[in-house]
Structure 1
Amino acid sequence: MGTRGPRERLLDATITSLRRHGVHGTGIAEVLGASGAARQSIYQHFPGGKADLVAEAARRAGARLTRDAPADPHAYVDDRLDWWVDQLRRHDFALGCPVAAAALAGADSPGVVAAAAEVFADWTEHLATVLTDAGAEPEAARRLGRFHVSAVEGAGLMAQALRSVEPVEDLRAILHGLIDDVLPH
């Protein structure tokens, strides 16, 4: 398998920093220190500097959540929410979503915000496809896909603030009911 190169280490360190500090709190010095990469590695792999690095980190984090996702809609939702519950508990509610952090980067980072939008659209479409493949009408599947992304992001934030996974578990019950509503009986 080999060792991970500087590009992968930079992306992983950036994802962790985004989860902990957001875009504006993520510093190049911190990312370099955590990754063990040389400063020139950033500009070699990410010519646009921090903005390119953060945008690619958001895309990478987003792709991790759809890789090997279950094809059953209920299993898909449980898989995503189980991941969140584990992350919240494992990191004592201190780490959030790196894609949400990218979405909040602001007008001075349009490429970063656009990367977050791409990931949200991908997550939406992924669940919509799972639902459609299970027999849901395409428009209902897209609506539920968008709601799922919005609700999971909100439940994650609320869970962090409350230091409780209860909002995520509440969402789980509601999403299962909504899935049942859009699938043929």
Structure 2
Amino acid sequence: MAKKIAFLTATEGIERVELTDPWDAVSKAGHEPSLLSTEEGQVQTFDHLDKADKKDVDTVVGDASIDDYDALVLPGGVANPDALRTDPAAVAFVREFLLSGKPVAAICHAPWTLIEADVVQGKQLTSWPSLETDLRNAGASWVDQEVVIDGNLITSRNPDDLPAFNEALLDAVGSNGTGTQTSVG
């Protein structure tokens, strides 16, 4: 059975490949990706510091319900999670989603939003290396590996880890739209 997967971003500063690569993996597995953001319109992705593609927003996070989604993906980029963690509706959505027990997958700088949502204490995770101190200060145990799964939380360090990240996400979601197990990477 196909699942609906939410991808939550700010309006800009999203690392393009950290949005598009998991999005494509979810689509190819027969699931339905949906872009949530803090505002209507489009979001601006980046290739590091250079503007890349724009992507249409499906739903404003303040209007979204966790009941409508089977998993949540938090792409990175430095500015993206930094902006998300200042948006009360986005922070509340992330907190509720993680506490619901449904899969949450965060890559690169995205754990900043998890810190703001106050959901990392006692969890083991990974991230872009510069977040190590922030995560430890928030009560998490940080490790340097390509993917870490702690309960329903999946984390990865950077775009090089996307194959393992996508595989862990698809494993957590379950089968693809045809009912057979899918592995990416």
Fold match by TM threshold 0.5: no
* Larger helix share, 1 or 2: 1
Q: Rg bigger for which structure?
A: 1
* Larger strand share, 1 or 2: 2
Per the normalisation by structure 1, the TM-score is: 0.30
